[in-house]
């Protein structure tokens, strides 16, 4: 067969996170700490709203931007929670998860040769989409600045080619959040740059201690800012596929066109479920957070007692300890940990080269799993101490630069 396929699609690979999760079928007794989805069920009333919609034959297409009622519920949620306003008629599009929101926004704004700056280590879901648009990602290393973007470094990276910056706080894979002081500095810098801001705040409702600071609450950026969000994490609705894009009217007209040719609309029963989640289940994320905090404290304490260097996360449900002291690449560390002691974690290299020297542990798992996982990790590390490894050192990885 001599038919070719798009060269940009041909080079796409299975994300590192999935590569590890996919190996697990061969390790039925392994403790899986790889996946980033809440282990709580979708709230009952949300499920019932979805079931009711199906029973009542609400199974057709909706408006391309999503049901007006869901857009209104989305606007009210953000107004009440963060005090910024978007017009449900013209400034909100309901998507098939945040993933489709990211895709629709980038396909609307990017052209061949454009560059997008992304602070890293970072979730692996952005780069393939950006590259399919013919654009390129330029990573801003945060590994030596507490995993937060340095405004000076950012300023130095902006060039004529920079079309957008993507921010993801609370972050995947580290779980750090941006405090208002740093956000003020970043906004002051971005205010003077002619670039789009794409802010993926899917973990905003999962913060521990201080409230999420949304960049969408800075009116000076509003005319070129897209807020990406959704219900996957906040309401444990990953399989329902409901996301939102919020942005200024003049840009959202174009985003809506890209979205509608891609998927017409989000699933209608899921949209009914979404209305219930945003209207009557606003306390749900806080209930989950109580549990996440216990788990985070437990895992953090165990990792530090094992002598691992780790930043205490204050959002999302991931923790990102350093494994540099063991002198092996993160992929090798994760592979050996799975094969020798039956724990699956994601190698830091799955989150760009700046994640090399780390592993990501998800604590969206019940306590008994975490206890078992930490015990096995400790046994693995102890054995490594007794039999030091002679493979290449991670000494000058880019994460140190």
Ligand X SMILES: Cc1ncc(COP(=O)(O)O)c(C=O)c1O
Give residues in contact with ligand X (CB under 6 A).
36, 97-99, 123, 125, 168, 172, 200, 202, 230, 232, 238, 243
Of the two residues 73 and 394, which places its CB atom closer to ligand X in the complex? 73
Of the two residues 36 and 347, which places its CB atom closer to ligand X in the complex? 36
Of the two residues 62 and 232, which places its CB atom closer to ligand X in the complex? 232
Q: How far apart are CA 107 and CA 131, in angstroms?
A: 10
Q: 160-197 burial, b for 16+ CB within 10 Å, e for fewer?
A: eebbbbbbbbbbbbbbbbbeeebbebbbebbeeeebbb
Minimum separation from the CB atom of position 317 to ligand X (A): 10
Minimum separation from the CB atom of position 126 to ligand X (A): 8
Dihedral angle of Cα 288, 290, 294, 296, to the nearest 10 degrees: 60
Minimum separation from the CB atom of position 243 to ligand X (A): 5
Minimum separation from the CB atom of position 200 to ligand X (A): 5
DSSP, res 358: B
Of the two residues 43 and 329, which places its CB atom closer to ligand X in the complex? 43
Of the two residues 110 and 167, which places its CB atom closer to ligand X in the complex? 167
The sheet that has 346-347: what strands, in order across it?
Answer: 318-319, 359-362, 346-347
Minimum separation from the CB atom of position 165 to ligand X (A): 15
Minimum separation from the CB atom of position 12 to ligand X (A): 17
Confirm if 225 and 255 have CB atoms less than 8 A apart. Answer: no
Nearest to 343 by CA among 377, 295, 305, 301: 377
Of the two residues 98 and 381, which places its CB atom closer to ligand X in the complex? 98
Minimum separation from the CB atom of position 204 to ligand X (A): 11
Q: How far apart are CA 104 and CA 255, in angstroms?
A: 6
Of the two residues 268 and 384, which places its CB atom closer to ligand X in the complex? 268
Distance of CA 36 to the CA centre of its chain: 9
Of the two residues 168 and 322, which places its CB atom closer to ligand X in the complex? 168
Give, for 117, the enclosing helix (H) or strand (E). strand 115-120
* Residue recorded with tokens 């509003």: 222
Minimum separation from the CB atom of position 191 to ligand X (A): 25
Q: How many CB atoms lie within 10 A of CB 256?
A: 20
Confirm if 311 and 320 have CB atoms less than 8 A apart. Answer: yes
Q: Which residue is nearest to ligand X (CB)?
A: 97
Confirm if 109 and 129 have CB atoms less than 8 A apart. Answer: no
Q: How far apart are CA 105 and CA 388, in angstroms?
A: 48
DSSP-H helix ranges across 281-362: 284-305, 330-341
């Amino acid at each position: 067969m001599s038919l070719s396929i798009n060269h940009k699609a041909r080079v796409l690979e299975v994300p590192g996170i999935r590569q590890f999760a996919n190996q697990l079928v061969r390790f039925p007794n392994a403790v899986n700490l790889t996946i980033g989805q809440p282990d709580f069920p979708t709230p009952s009333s949300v499920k019932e709203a979805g079931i009711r919609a199906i029973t009542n034959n609400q199974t057709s297409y909706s408006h391309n931007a999503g049901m007006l009622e869901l857009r209104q519920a989305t606007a009210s949620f953000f107004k009440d929670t963060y005090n910024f306003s978007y017009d449900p008629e013209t400034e909100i599009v309901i998507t098939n998860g945040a993933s489709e929101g990211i895709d629709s926004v980038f396909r609307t704004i990017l052209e061949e040769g454009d560059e997008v700056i992304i602070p890293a280590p970072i979730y692996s879901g952005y780069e393939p989409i950006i590259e399919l648009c013919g654009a390129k990602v330029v990573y801003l290393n945060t590994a030596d600045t507490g995993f937060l973007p340095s405004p000076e470094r950012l300023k130095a990276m902006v060039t004529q080619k920079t079309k957008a910056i993507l921010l993801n706080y609370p972050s995947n894979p580290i779980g750090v959040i941006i405090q208002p002081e740093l956000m003020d500095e970043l906004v002051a810098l971005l205010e003077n740059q002619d670039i789009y801001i794409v802010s993926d705040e899917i973990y905003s409702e999962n913060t521990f201690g201080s409230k999420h600071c949304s960049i969408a609450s800075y009116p000076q950026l509003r005319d070129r800012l897209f807020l990406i969000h959704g219900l996957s994490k906040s309401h444990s609705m990953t399989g329902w596929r409901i996301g939102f894009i919020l942005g200024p009217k003049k840009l959202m007209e174009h985003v809506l066109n890209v979205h509608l040719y891609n998927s017409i609309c989000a699933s209608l029963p899921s949209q009914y479920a979404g209305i219930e989640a945003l209207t009557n289940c606003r306390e749900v994320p806080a209930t989950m957070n109580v549990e996440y905090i216990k788990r985070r404290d437990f895992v953090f304490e165990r990792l530090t007692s094992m002598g691992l260097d780790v930043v205490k996360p204050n959002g999302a449900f991931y923790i990102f300890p350093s494994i540099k002291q063991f002198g092996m690449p993160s992929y090798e560390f994760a592979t050996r940990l799975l094969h020798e002691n039956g724990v699956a974690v994601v190698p830091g290299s799955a989150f760009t080269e700046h994640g090399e020297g780390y592993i990501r542990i998800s604590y969206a798992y019940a306590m008994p799993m975490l206890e078992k996982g930490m015990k096995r990790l400790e046994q693995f590390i102890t054995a490594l101490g007794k039999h030091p490894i002679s493979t290449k050192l991670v000494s000058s990885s880019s994460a140190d630069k």
